[in-house]
């Protein structure tokens, strides 16, 4: 029998409640659909930039690629009557550098068919993007480590009286504090020193670039219009958009969280940096440098150990000849299908690449550092 009331008060039917349980707001709305907004929190995505800033070669039917160096030669006066049969010193000297492909680098995920059926958003495209980010991050980190190693190295051409120039290390600031790495005045001076050093070592001005920690980059943006740093093309809207500094001394500037920076990747807080952590950083922001030497499983080139890098490296300036990257398998995604999918009722999404990197021309590499002592070669 229908409930009746003299005061005409209605008895509300709780269409969102499960089994008429409606004592709390959560119970009253338990059956309502949770709508998908169409947005995904993609986590922290690192910009992959190193691949196009160095010498990249594709490797087929081999494990390594050989690069040949030729040193300088000399000029001499001809003696009348003497045959011209080449310089008496045998110049130019020749040396080689071999870059080997590391083992196959992979990132994968298994997607269960039932989960994919029940999900109201595209699982596969999102997982594929995350796999791509993981590979790109590793790619950048290895190349930047190779460039830093080259900045500390001598030239492969070392014949007597024909020694070619090696890498360059430039101190940022004059104190022993890590905070010097964020001084716009000190950074601008270091850029001009680096440009002069590369000029003196005969490095082409074409393709020169720098990669800094994001906070270094933004410190420079704030200094546009002062400290001798003027860029009329990057005032106003561009400046406020976070892209206020394009070049210093003809060196194009990029920012990345994947460079070796004070013993970590990309950023460091506390200590003498005078930079306060924004908090809740997560595991992927500013992790410690790991060992990546030739003794590490899967690695055939030497990218150095954490100890060898120390806690002083504070940015890279280089020309594209500073390092070489060889690819046997470029970044790609593979997905299982057919019988495999039937047996496991799902698919494996696999991202893979086979690459290796090493420094090529040390004279084209400059490492910025803080502290009283330049980091040692390794």
Place of tokens 């100890």: 307
**Residues with Cβ within 8 Å of residue 102, at least 6 apart in sequence:** 142, 298, 299, 300, 301, 354, 355, 356
Bridge partners (DSSP) of residue 66 are 98
* Residue 47: band (very low, low, confident or very high) from pLDDT cuts 50, 70, 90: low
* Residue 230: band (very low, low, confident or very high) from pLDDT cuts 50, 70, 90: low
Q: For all residues of the chain together, what is the average pLDDT?
A: 84
Superfamily of domain 50-369: Major capsid protein gp5 (3.30.2400.10)
Q: How far is CA 262 from CA 39, 137, 308, 358, 361, in A?
A: 35, 18, 12, 21, 24
The answer to whether residues 248 and 188 touch, using CB atoms and an 8 Å cutoff, is yes
> 185 exposed, middle or buried (CB, 10 Å; 0-12, 13-18, 19+)?
middle
* Listed range (124-133, 228-237, 298-307) with the worst mean pLDDT: 228-237
pLDDT top residue among 151 and 14? 151
The answer to whether residues 253 and 220 touch, using CB atoms and an 8 Å cutoff, is yes
The answer to whether residues 348 and 116 touch, using CB atoms and an 8 Å cutoff, is no
* Residue 240: band (very low, low, confident or very high) from pLDDT cuts 50, 70, 90: very low
Q: What is the pLDDT of residues 89-109, one digit of tens each?
A: 777 888 888 899 999 999 999
pLDDT top residue among 346 and 340? 346
**Degrees, nearest 5: CA angle 160-163-168:** 150
| 330-346: average pLDDT | 86
What per-residue confidence (pLDDT) applies to 190? 96
What per-residue confidence (pLDDT) applies to 94? 83
Cα–Cα dist 192/190, whole Å: 5
What per-residue confidence (pLDDT) applies to 298? 93
Cα–Cα dist 215/270, whole Å: 14
Percent of the chain with pLDDT over 70: 86
Extract the tokens encoding 364: 């084209």
């Amino acid at each position: 029998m229908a409930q009746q009331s003299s005061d005409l008060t209605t008895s509300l039917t709780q269409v969102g409640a499960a089994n008429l349980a409606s004592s709390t707001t959560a119970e009253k709305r338990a059956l309502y659909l949770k709508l998908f907004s169409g947005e995904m929190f993609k986590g922290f995505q690192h910009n992959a930039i190193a691949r196009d800033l160095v010498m990249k070669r594709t490797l087929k039917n081999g494990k390594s690629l050989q690069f040949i160096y030729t040193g300088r030669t000399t000029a001499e006066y001809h003696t009348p009557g003497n045959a011209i049969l080449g310089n008496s010193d045998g110049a130019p000297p020749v040396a080689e550098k071999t870059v080997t492909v590391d083992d196959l680098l992979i990132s994968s995920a298994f997607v269960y068919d039932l989960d994919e059926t029940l999900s109201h958003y595209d699982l596969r495209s999102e997982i594929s993007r995350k796999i791509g980010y993981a590979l790109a991050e590793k790619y950048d980190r290895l190349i930047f480590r190779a460039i830093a190693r080259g900045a500390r190295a001598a030239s492969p051409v070392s014949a007597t009286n024909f020694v070619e120039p090696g890498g360059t290390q430039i101190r940022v600031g004059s104190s022993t504090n890590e905070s010097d790495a964020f001084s716009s005045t000190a950074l601008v001076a270091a850029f001009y020193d680096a440009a002069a050093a590369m000029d003196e070592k005969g490095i082409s001005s074409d393709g020169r670039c720098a990669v800094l920690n994001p906070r270094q980059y933004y410190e420079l943006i704030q200094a546009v219009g002062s400290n001798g740093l003027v860029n009329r093309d990057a005032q106003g809207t561009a400046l406020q958009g976070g892209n206020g500094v394009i070049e210093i001394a003809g060196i194009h500037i990029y920012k990345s969280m994947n460079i070796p920076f004070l013993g970590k990747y990309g950023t460091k807080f506390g200590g003498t940096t005078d930079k306060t952590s924004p908090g809740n950083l997560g595991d992927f922001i500013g992790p410690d440098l790991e060992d990546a030497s030739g003794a590490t499983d899967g690695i055939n080139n030497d990218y150095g150990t954490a100890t060898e890098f120390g806690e002083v490296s504070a940015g890279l300036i280089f020309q594209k000849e500073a390092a070489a990257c060889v690819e046997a398998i470029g970044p790609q995604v593979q997905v299982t299908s057919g019988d495999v999918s039937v047996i496991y009722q799902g698919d494996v999404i696999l991202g893979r690449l086979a690459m290796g990197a090493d420094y090529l021309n040390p004279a084209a590499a400059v490492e910025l550092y803080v502290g009283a002592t330049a980091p040692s070669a390794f």
